[in-house]
Amino acid sequence: MKVKTQSCVVAGKKTVAVSDQEIEWNNKGTLVQITRGGICGSDLHYYQEGKVGNFTVKAPMILGHEVIGKIVHTDSTELKEGQAVAVNPSKPCGHCKYCLQHEENQCTEMRFFGSAMYFPHVDGGFTRYKVVDTAQCIPFSSNADEKVMAFAEPLAVAIHAAHEAGDLQGKRVFISGVGPIGCLIISAVKTLGAAEIVCADVSSRSLSLAAKMGADTLINPQHDDLALWKAEKGYFDVSFEVSGHPSSITTCLEVTRAKGVMVQVGMGGAVPEFPMMMLIAKEISLKGSFRFTTEFNTAVSWLANNVIDPLPLLSGEYPFTELEQALKFAGDKTQAAKVQLVF
Amino acid sequence: MKVKTQSCVVAGKKTVAVSDQEIEWNNKGTLVQITRGGICGSDLHYYQEGKVGNFTVKAPMILGHEVIGKIVHTDSTELKEGQAVAVNPSKPCGHCKYCLQHEENQCTEMRFFGSAMYFPHVDGGFTRYKVVDTAQCIPFSSNADEKVMAFAEPLAVAIHAAHEAGDLQGKRVFISGVGPIGCLIISAVKTLGAAEIVCADVSSRSLSLAAKMGADTLINPQHDDLALWKAEKGYFDVSFEVSGHPSSITTCLEVTRAKGVMVQVGMGGAVPEFPMMMLIAKEISLKGSFRFTTEFNTAVSWLANNVIDPLPLLSGEYPFTELEQALKFAGDKTQAAKVQLVF
């Protein structure tokens, strides 16, 4: 069965369009009508620069990996037409050494929505209709707020980062960089038992969102003195670096107590002058965090059950036909945190 | 009671002497007659450069922190005169936040033998007689070989590094840099159950020692292709970086499997161009390892019970009166691994 769709496509730097496309539904997997999707930093990089890190757009690719929708057709005996679902953008191979150890986010043949990592590129979810594996469809109640549920993917990233830190019960937590992911990490660590959450950012707008999301103390490292947090080899049990900035990386190493954990979430280039001696002498555990595994399901559950409220982070919504305007607004960090497209 | 001793003192760069000194024994702690001590990299740095990293020798300081001896007098009711002991060079404060959590190696007021970290400096163990806390005296059988037992301190460093890696049973282990500490890590991980040990070094002399210590495979990264070890996001469950070299740090990140552990033991300056994106994308846990806690006692036990044999690493021994010759020989890495002083 042929299905007509309209898709938000990037073809290179500053080159996006909403294009008519035709897809095929062959009674395998699930045909989803996408209803809403959040714009992520990587979507913005593809738009602004035509690439994310080393992954360059070489052919038109559908953007987006934070989408929800409703089932149109499915091969599932459990899911029904009309069922609201969050779409997990991960499609691991299921048989590589990582998949076999339930480390699917490290799958060596991962197909992840809207990524130019491989060629041909993997199309994303900013399209009206999309066929996905049924396992990628995580159902949620039709009573749930779609604005809220479209936060499932970034919240999954945040919960995964929190899990990387180990047990958070009673812990003192520092979060450096409170864009949408940093702010969702506030929610995640609070839910997982953190006793105290201190957030740092150079943007007062971001810091005010962090306060709404549950931060106990706000720091602007350009103005505030961090000496107290650095005393006795560091105050915090756990730190999350969510900016990718070299100065923030050093700050996290300084304020994390000896034998503490630092989770690196923020991406950037190679770090010049990385202070390895501090990591050694303080025996810090520096852990990379990348995407998520079962945390996607946890995120859907938390959002559907109002365990956390992500709506302070929603800065605007646009019809998908206004793609470029939405990308421009989302890219203006003086105004926008999360921006959603409505399909 | 006054006790005359002779000590190996460093006063600055290339300025060492064997000096007559007088110490006092006041019936508190334990007076030890030092019998033997190993020369460590930091002793060599104090001799060659007058400093270790930022810690500069500002006043004459006794070198050495790898010493064993015999008890002369003690306040202990359990230890007796003549008892052979390994001397733990760590003297933590016992009341800081780290000591209270049994993380004594991170003590904020640590007094560690032969260290210019604080001023006044903490004198080391290269002296004929020394008063230490009785808790610093770890007894061993008089049947044990003193040459072997003088490896207690560096073996403690190695076992601690191995413990930082977590459970090693059945694991594939990579060790980059096989000087004395790297070679002792071979022994430690083998004892703790590692299934396969691959070692890399640019020195064929070091690699041949690694083979004697139990390495399964030897790699010279200047000649050998590492592609096989880098495939599928990395072959090794655990890697130990024991050189401090930036290129070795990158190699360890490359050959460690995604979600694997990398233990950083080798010290050096800040790392230029640290490949943080690889750490994030592969979710590597990079853990600093510094000195040891209870591993000192474990090391004494392993050595006294012939669990491991460190003697392939012993390149020479000198009477302490030939201090400078010993330091020169120990500093010639084309010839020497571990060099011991006899008192």
Mark whether B9 and B143 lie in a shared domain: yes
Mark whether A11 and A98 lie in a shared domain: yes
Give the start-end residues of each E strand in chain B.
2-12, 15-24, 30-38, 51-52, 55-56, 61-62, 66-74, 84-87, 90-91, 111-112, 129-132, 137-139, 172-176, 196-200, 217-219, 236-241, 256-264, 285-288, 314-319, 338-342
At A32, which helix (H) or strand (E)?
strand A30-38
Written as six digits, the tokens of B247 are: 């290129």
**B97 to chain A: closest CA residue:** A232
CA atoms of B239 and A46, how far apart (whole Å): 35
**A54 to chain B: closest CA residue:** B277
Mark whether B13 and B105 lie in a shared domain: yes
Q: Does residue B295 fall inside a structural domain?
A: no
Q: What is the mean pLDDT of residues A191-207?
A: 97
Give the nearest partner residue to B108 out of A233, A265, A283, using CB atoms.
A233
How does pLDDT run across B142-182, given as a tens digit for each residue?
Answer: 999 999 999 999 999 999 999 999 999 999 999 999 999 99
| Amino acid sitting at position A196 | E
- Identify the band that residue A192 occupies on the pLDDT scale cut at 50, 70 and 90: very high
Q: What is the mean pLDDT of residues B184-208?
A: 98
Q: Does residue A293 fall inside a structural domain?
A: no
- Identify the band that residue B268 occupies on the pLDDT scale cut at 50, 70 and 90: confident
Is pLDDT at A204 greater than 90 in this prediction?
yes
Mark whether B192 and B274 lie in a shared domain: yes
Is pLDDT at B54 greater than 90 in this prediction?
no
Q: Does residue A295 fall inside a structural domain?
A: no
Give the nearest partner residue to A98 out of B103, B258, B277, using CB atoms.
B258
Give A229→chain B minimum CA distance, Å.
14
* Cβ contact B127:B108 at 8 Å: no
- B194: CATH: 3.40.50.720
Mark whether A47 and A180 lie in a shared domain: no
Residue-level pLDDT at B87: 98
Give the nearest partner residue to A281 out of B233, B273, B290, using CB atoms.
B290
How does pLDDT run across A57-85, given as a tens digit for each residue?
Answer: 999 999 999 999 999 999 999 999 999 99
- B44: CATH: 3.90.180.10
Give the total number of structural domains in chain A.
2
Is pLDDT at B269 greater than 90 in this prediction?
no
How does pLDDT run across A291-339, given as a tens digit for each residue?
Answer: 999 999 999 999 999 999 999 999 999 999 999 999 999 999 899 999 9
Tokens 């000195």, residue located:
B291
Which of B276, B285, B287, B292 has the most A C-beta neighbours within 10 Å, making it the best mutation to test the interface with A? B276
Is pLDDT at B4 greater than 90 in this prediction?
yes
Who wins on pLDDT, B193 or B333? Answer: B193
Work out the percent of chain B whose per-residue pLDDT is above 90. Answer: 97
On chain A, the residues whose CB falls within 8 A of the CB of B117 are: none
Residue-level pLDDT at B21: 98
Is pLDDT at A181 greater than 90 in this prediction?
yes
Written as six digits, the tokens of B113 are: 């033998």
Test A258 with B103 for CB contact under 8 angstroms: yes
Mark whether B233 and B209 lie in a shared domain: yes
Residue-level pLDDT at B53: 80
Residue-level pLDDT at A54: 80
Q: Does residue A102 fall inside a structural domain?
A: yes
| Domain limits for position B191 | 158-288
Q: What is the mean pLDDT of residues A147-153?
A: 98
Give B276→chain A minimum CA distance, Å.
6
Is pLDDT at B302 greater than 90 in this prediction?
yes
Q: What is the mean pLDDT of residues B280-302?
A: 98
Residue-level pLDDT at A268: 86
Residue-level pLDDT at A40: 96
Residue-level pLDDT at B235: 98
Mark whether A187 and A49 lie in a shared domain: no
Work out the number of other CB atoms within 10 angstroms of the CB of residue A185: 33
> ipTM exceeding 0.85?
yes
Which of B259, B262, B273, B291 has the most A C-beta neighbours within 10 Å, making it the best mutation to test the interface with A? B259
Give B307→chain A minimum CA distance, Å.
27
Mark whether A7 and A70 lie in a shared domain: yes
Mark whether B110 and B166 lie in a shared domain: no
Q: Does residue A304 fall inside a structural domain?
A: no
How does pLDDT run across B318-340, given as a tens digit for each residue?
Answer: 999 999 999 999 999 899 999 99
- Identify the band that residue B20 occupies on the pLDDT scale cut at 50, 70 and 90: very high
Mark whether A314 and A226 lie in a shared domain: no
Is pLDDT at A53 greater than 90 in this prediction?
no
Give the nearest partner residue to A274 out of B108, B164, B271, using CB atoms.
B271
Residue-level pLDDT at B62: 98
Is pLDDT at B30 greater than 90 in this prediction?
yes
At A330, which helix (H) or strand (E)?
helix A323-331
Mark whether A95 and A44 lie in a shared domain: yes
For chain B, helix, strand, coil in percent to 5 are 30, 30, 40
Test B259 with A286 for CB contact under 8 angstroms: no
At A181, which helix (H) or strand (E)?
helix A180-191
Q: Does residue B202 fall inside a structural domain?
A: yes
A contact set with B (CB within 8 A): 53, 96-98, 103, 105-106, 108, 164, 232-233, 244, 249, 257-259, 264-265, 267-277, 279-290
Q: Does residue B294 fall inside a structural domain?
A: no
CA atoms of B161 and A282, how far apart (whole Å): 13
How does pLDDT run across A21-34, given as a tens digit for each residue?
Answer: 999 999 999 999 99
Using alpha carbons only, what angle is made at residue A64 by residues A60 and A68, rounded to the nearest 5 degrees? 135
Is pLDDT at A96 greater than 90 in this prediction?
yes
* Cβ contact A175:A169 at 8 Å: no
Mark whether A174 and A110 lie in a shared domain: no
Residue-level pLDDT at A301: 98
